[in-house]
């Protein structure tokens, strides 16, 4: 029987529900923005989304996820009490790494990034092969050459392959998030944090910032901002064991920044923004940024070859 795999866990989503245990979905790219309330089990899942044919154990994520997903709620209770110890931080980092690597957004982004590397080589090979294809007439060669040069022949990257590449980054990403500076944001304003089907996002405070932070809403009253420690290039598990968390902290966030982070969540959502109830301000925000999403930008430098 096919499995419904949640790419955003029910454990995570339940912390955002309203009084009746529902989440209100706000849909991007649709005329009717606000949908009917839904239970966490009925959203943010893909059929066999965690299955990957590129690994000998096609259900490898079943062994990875429980160690990080199961303690999520208890770890947030610790954060509410002002506790951010090594075990709590490592377990939170593990699930955040999954959210950055294995959602539909991450899979699509991976396809785009891999295609950016593969496309130039593939098109060169196709043109070179075409030149040697003596069995084709000049007319057919010209037609195919024009189609290749005009990118009418598309190079498609297998979505599962992109997912496999994301899964291979999980360990390194956990180490990176652990060896970073964490700021737990406490929201005491009357505007709650919202979430989405892509809840762990890259965040730039301004256009001059070259290294992104990672922002994750944890519940309506709490979020997390992670800034990488640039003194450690590629953290290993040995770095994790030695790392001091002295610069981690807690802070009460201003309303203006709550609005900024909520806007970033809406912009980065793949398809659905999630909130505990229907609110006009959020419906307007989703409508304003309905065409936005995360995309890979690939630049090719001509080599002359």
Neighbours of 90 (CB within 10 A): 17
Q: What is the DSSP string of 239-263?
A: HHHH---TT-EEEEPPHHHHHHHHH
Interatomic CA distance for residues 177 and 173, integer angstroms: 6
Choice between 174 and 246, residue whose per-residue pLDDT is larger: 174
Residues 6+ apart with CB under 8 A from 18: 24, 37, 276, 277
Adjacent-strand bridge partners of 214: 202, 226
If you search the block for the tokens 């377990």, which residue do you land on?
Answer: 91
Percentage of the chain modeled with pLDDT above 90: 72
Interatomic CA distance for residues 142 and 130, integer angstroms: 9
pLDDT of residue 304: 55
Residue 218, SS3 per DSSP = strand
Residue 156, SS3 per DSSP = coil
pLDDT tens, residue by residue, 33-48: 999 999 999 999 999 9
Asked if residues 90 and 248 have their Cβ atoms less than 8 Å apart, the reply is no
* Closest by CA position to 197, among listed 33, 9, 68, 2: 9
Q: How confident is the model at residue 129 (pLDDT cuts 50, 70, 90)?
A: confident
pLDDT of residue 76: 97
Asked if residues 21 and 57 have their Cβ atoms less than 8 Å apart, the reply is no
Adjacent-strand bridge partners of 81: none
What pTM did the predictor assign?
A: 0.91
pLDDT tens, residue by residue, 234-292: 899 999 988 987 789 999 999 999 999 999 999 999 999 999 999 999 999 999 999 99
Two tokens, residue 150: 């005009």
pLDDT tens, residue by residue, 46-57: 999 999 999 999
pLDDT of residue 169: 96
pLDDT of residue 27: 97
Burial of 245 (0-12, 13-18, 19+ CB in 10 A): middle
* Closest by CA position to 170, among listed 23, 21, 61: 61
- Mean pLDDT over each residue of the chain, to the nearest integer: 92
Residue 207 has pLDDT above 70, yes or no: no
How far is the first Cα of the chain from the last one, in angstroms, to the nearest whole number? 51
pLDDT of residue 40: 97
């Amino acid at each position: 029987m096919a499995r419904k795999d949640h790419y955003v866990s029910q454990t995570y989503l339940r912390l955002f529900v309203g009084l009746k245990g529902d989440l209100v979905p706000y849909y991007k790219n649709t005329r009717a923005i606000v949908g009917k309330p839904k239970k966490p089990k009925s959203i943010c899942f893909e059929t066999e989304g965690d299955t990957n044919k590129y690994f000998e154990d096609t259900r490898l994520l079943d062994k990875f996820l429980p160690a990080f997903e199961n303690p999520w709620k208890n770890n947030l209770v610790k954060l509410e009490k002002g506790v951010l110890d090594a075990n709590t931080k490592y377990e939170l980092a593990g699930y955040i790494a999954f959210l950055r690597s294995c959602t539909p957004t991450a899979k699509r982004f991976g396809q785009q990034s891999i295609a950016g590397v593969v496309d130039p080589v593939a098109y060169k090979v196709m043109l070179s092969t075409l030149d040697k294809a003596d069995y084709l007439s000049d007319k057919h060669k010209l037609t195919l050459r024009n189609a290749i040069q005009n990118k009418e022949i598309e190079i498609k990257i297998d979505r599962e392959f992109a997912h496999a590449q994301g899964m291979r980054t999980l360990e390194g990403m956990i180490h990176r998030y652990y060896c970073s500076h964490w700021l737990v944001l406490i929201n005491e304003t009357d505007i709650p944090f919202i979430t989405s089907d892509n809840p762990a996002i890259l965040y730039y405070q301004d256009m001059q910032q070259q290294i992104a932070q990672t922002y994750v809403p944890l519940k309506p009253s709490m979020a997390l901002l992670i800034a990488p420690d640039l003194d450690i290039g590629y953290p290993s598990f040995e770095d994790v064991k030695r790392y001091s968390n002295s610069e981690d902290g807690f802070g009460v966030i201003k309303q203006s920044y709550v609005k900024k982070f909520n806007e970033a969540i809406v912009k980065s959502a793949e398809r659905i923004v999630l909130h505990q109830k229907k609110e006009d301000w959020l419906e307007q925000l989703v409508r304003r940024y309905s065409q936005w999403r995360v995309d890979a930008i690939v630049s090719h430098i001509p080599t002359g070859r």
